[in-house]
């Protein structure tokens, strides 16, 4: 199974957890290790990831962001901040693709804007 497919599964597990209150462990039964790591990592670091999103979502309260878009950004940010084996550009591209496929028309630009701002800050911090 491709990593893109596993990212999608991680995003949908987080989304389902949020909208159904089912335990993440239950939603990840039989999941591949990469899927599990992404979902569990994003859930574990949700407060940190949400802070990153909220700081850059000018004019948007976190509660107003659609649960699926939020799940997409959490997985991408987890990869960007906590996985050295995933290039930042790949995490952003995968997230934008998921937003294009499964979210509303404005979602890809919104997701790209938030993640791009984090990427710029990460690059500036490395200098």
Residue 125 has pLDDT above 90, yes or no: no
**Distance (Å, whole) CA 127 – CA 122:** 9
Domain spans of the chain, in order of start: 3-126
Q: Per residue in 46-64, pLDDT tens? A: 999 999 999 999 888 899 9
Q: Per residue in 16-52, pLDDT tens? A: 999 999 999 999 999 999 999 999 999 999 999 999 9
**Distance (Å, whole) CA 19 – CA 117:** 27
Q: Per residue in 57-108, pLDDT tens? A: 988 889 999 999 999 999 999 999 999 999 999 999 999 999 999 999 999 9
Looking at the chain, the number of H-run helices and the number of E-run strands are 7, 0
CATH placement of domain 3-126: 1.10.940.10
Is the pTM above the cut of 0.85? yes
**Distance (Å, whole) CA 98 – CA 94:** 6
């Amino acid at each position: 199974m491709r990593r893109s497919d596993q990212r999608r599964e991680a995003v949908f597990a987080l989304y389902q957890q949020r909208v159904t209150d089912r335990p993440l462990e239950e939603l990840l039964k039989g999941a591949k290790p990469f899927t599990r790591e992404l979902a569990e990592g994003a859930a574990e670091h949700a407060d940190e990831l949400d802070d990153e999103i909220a700081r850059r979502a000018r004019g948007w309260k976190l509660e107003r962001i659609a649960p699926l878009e939020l799940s997409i950004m959490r997985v991408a940010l987890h990869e960007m901040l906590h996985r050295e084996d995933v290039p930042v550009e790949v995490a952003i591209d995968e997230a934008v693709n998921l937003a294009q496929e499964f979210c509303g028309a404005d979602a890809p630009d919104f997701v790209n804007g938030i993640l791009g701002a984090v990427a710029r800050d990460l690059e500036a911090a490395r200098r």
